[in-house]
């Protein structure tokens, strides 16, 4: 390495050293974690792969097909179609694009009406801006999930004279980790022939691996393609899948949905391109394939169980200090009631702890990711109680 290169790396290191490190356990509000160590070698191996021009990278393209099959396996779909893309935002926008295309095929001037839970991630706002969608958001019930009775009445009343084109349901909502009752929603959608998109960006790599002892009584965890009218699912390897970013995924029920996404790509090796992003790395494909092979269901089950065990440990410790949770955790997301969560989160930040806050309820929100251990939790509880003393 020549002097100039060394200097450049030294300079970069200074910037990088200012970033937080997952292993310090102070990042408590992120849905990403430290990528699995195997990722490093794979990133280097696939550095120049570009699935935007798949004819030049047929090996990586074939691998993408295999990863989508593996996704199909955990989502109960033998015939999946989809892509490994940049993340949950791109996946959700892609799904909204399909709903819009299907709707406009029936009637090109139609208003596109979509039922969207109040707990939906803000990526759907971006989709609305881009595609001029009309969202209807039913109230939440006492369990912080979409009120299905309201949804049913709304659809049956035909309050939207253009009809409902799609329903978004969430499996692991960003704020609280709750799961909509997708079984009930699916029955309504089937009856009225409505498309369901499930946002399982976070829950997709948790729910299938959640041990029985962590499942709440009378809670419906079903979310995948085994349910009628679930036509697309967002599931992100770069969240609980432990892949390095960017690795998100959109999976469709079958290949018939491709036609809604394809645009002509005359100067590339493939005639059509379906993904929103053109030039796109194959790194997400390779890392996801490798980690799913390496860890398998058993490995993911162990990771999820550890996170759930730590979530309950956090609840126990906070209760000792009279802090209260909003709900019993459904997934590895813990909420802490707080009269002024913004103020508390800023005080915590001054002490070096990064938590986030909820929008639908006055509470702090802690994502108990694999990089969080019991010592981190003990230290955090001390810091939180100190905030309250000050």
Ligand X SMILES: Cc1ncc(COP(=O)(O)O)c(C=O)c1O
Residue 48 has a CB neighbour count (10 Å cut-off) of: 10
Smallest distance from ligand X to CB 252, Å: 17
Contacting residue, 74, 185, 201, 250, with ligand X by CB under 6 A: 201
**Residues 95-154, interacting with ligand X (CB under 6 A):** 121, 123
Is position 31 an interface residue for ligand X (rule: CB under 6 A)?
A: yes
Smallest distance from ligand X to CB 176, Å: 11
Segment near ligand X (CB under 6 A); pick from 84-92, 98-106, 283-291, 314-322 = 84-92
Binding residues for ligand X, how many (CB under 6 A)? 13
Distance CA 154, CA 41 (A): 52
Nearer to ligand X, 155 or 275 (CB): 275
**Residues 242-261, interacting with ligand X (CB under 6 A):** 248
Region of residue 87 (phi > 0: left; psi between -120 and 50: alpha; otherwise: beta): left
Nearer to ligand X, 155 or 198 (CB): 198
Segment near ligand X (CB under 6 A); pick from 34-42, 64-72, 86-94, 358-366 = 86-94
Region of residue 374 (phi > 0: left; psi between -120 and 50: alpha; otherwise: beta): alpha
Nearer to ligand X, 155 or 200 (CB): 200
Nearer to ligand X, 64 or 180 (CB): 180
Nearer to ligand X, 181 or 323 (CB): 181
Is position 199 an interface residue for ligand X (rule: CB under 6 A)?
A: yes
Cα four-point dihedral sign 20, 25, 26, 30: positive
Smallest distance from ligand X to CB 201, Å: 3
β-strands 134-136, 333-337 pairing: unpaired
Contacting residue, 49, 89, 281, 335, with ligand X by CB under 6 A: 89
Tell me if 228 sits within 8 A of 190, measured CB to CB: yes
Smallest distance from ligand X to CB 311, Å: 16
Question: Could you tell me which residues come within 8 angstroms of residue 292 by beta carbon, excluding any fewer than 6 positions away?
Answer: 67, 70, 237, 241
Is position 35 an interface residue for ligand X (rule: CB under 6 A)?
A: no
Tell me if 327 sits within 8 A of 143, measured CB to CB: yes
Contacting residue, 52, 54, 82, 88, with ligand X by CB under 6 A: 88
Segment near ligand X (CB under 6 A); pick from 18-26, 81-89, 179-187, 368-376 = 81-89
Cα four-point dihedral sign 65, 67, 71, 74: positive
Smallest distance from ligand X to CB 337, Å: 21
| Nearest Cα to Cα of residue 25 among 322, 282, 333, 380 | 380
| Residue owning tokens 């029920």 | 253
Token pair in block for residue 160? 């939207």
Question: Could you tell me which residues come within 8 angstroms of residue 16 by beta carbon, excluding any fewer than 6 positions away?
Answer: none
**3-state DSSP assignment of residue 241:** coil
**Length of the chain as a residue count:** 390
C-alpha dist (Å) from residue 243 to 53, 69, 206, 236, 289: 23, 17, 14, 9, 9
Is position 202 an interface residue for ligand X (rule: CB under 6 A)?
A: yes
Segment near ligand X (CB under 6 A); pick from 48-56, 198-206, 323-331, 350-358 = 198-206
Q: Which residues bind ligand X (CB under 6 A)?
A: 31, 87-89, 92, 121, 123, 174, 199, 201-202, 236, 248
């Amino acid at each position: 390495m020549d002097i100039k290169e060394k200097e450049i790396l030294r300079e970069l290191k200074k910037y990088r050293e200012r970033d937080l490190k997952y292993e310090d356990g102070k990042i408590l509000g992120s849905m990403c974690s430290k990528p699995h160590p195997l990722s490093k070698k794979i990133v280097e191996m696939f550095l120049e792969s570009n699935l935007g021009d798949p004819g030049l990278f047929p090996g990586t393209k074939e691998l993408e097909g295999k990863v989508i099959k593996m996704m199909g396996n955990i989502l109960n779909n033998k015939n999946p179609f989809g892509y490994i893309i940049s993340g949950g935002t791109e996946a959700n926008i892609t799904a909204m694009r399909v709903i819009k295309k299907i709707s406009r095929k029936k009637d090109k001037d139609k208003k596109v009406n979509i039922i969207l839970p109040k707990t939906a991630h803000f990526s759907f706002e971006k989709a609305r801006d881009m595609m001029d969608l009309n969202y209807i958001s039913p109230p939440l019930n006492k369990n912080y999930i979409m009120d299905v009775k309201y949804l049913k009445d709304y659809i049956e009343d035909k309050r939207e004279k253009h009809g409902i084109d799609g329903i978004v349901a969430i499996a692991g909502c960003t704020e609280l980790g709750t799961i909509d009752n997708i079984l009930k929603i699916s029955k309504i959608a089937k009856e009225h022939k409505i498309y369901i998109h499930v946002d399982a960006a976070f829950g997709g790599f948790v729910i299938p691996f959640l041990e029985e002892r962590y499942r709440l009584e009378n809670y419906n965890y079903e979310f995948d393609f085994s349910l009628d009218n679930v036509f697309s699912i967002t599931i992100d390897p770069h969240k609980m899948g432990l892949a390095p970013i960017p690795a998100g995924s959109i999976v469709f029920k079958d290949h018939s949905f491709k036609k809604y996404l394809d645009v002509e790509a005359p100067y590339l090796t493939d005639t059509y391109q379906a993904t929103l992003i053109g030039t796109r790395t194959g790194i997400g494909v390779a890392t996801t394939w490798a980690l799913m092979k390496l860890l398998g269901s058993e490995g993911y089950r162990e990771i999820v169980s550890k996170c759930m065990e730590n979530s309950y440990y956090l609840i126990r410790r906070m209760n000792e200090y009279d802090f209260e949770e909003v709900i019993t955790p459904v997934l590895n997301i813990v909420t802490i009631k707080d009269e002024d969560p913004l103020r508390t989160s800023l005080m915590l930040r001054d002490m070096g702890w990064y938590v986030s806050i909820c929008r639908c309820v006055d509470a702090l929100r802690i994502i108990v990711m694999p990089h969080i251990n019991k010592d981190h939790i003990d230290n955090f509880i001390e810091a939180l109680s100190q905030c309250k003393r000050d």
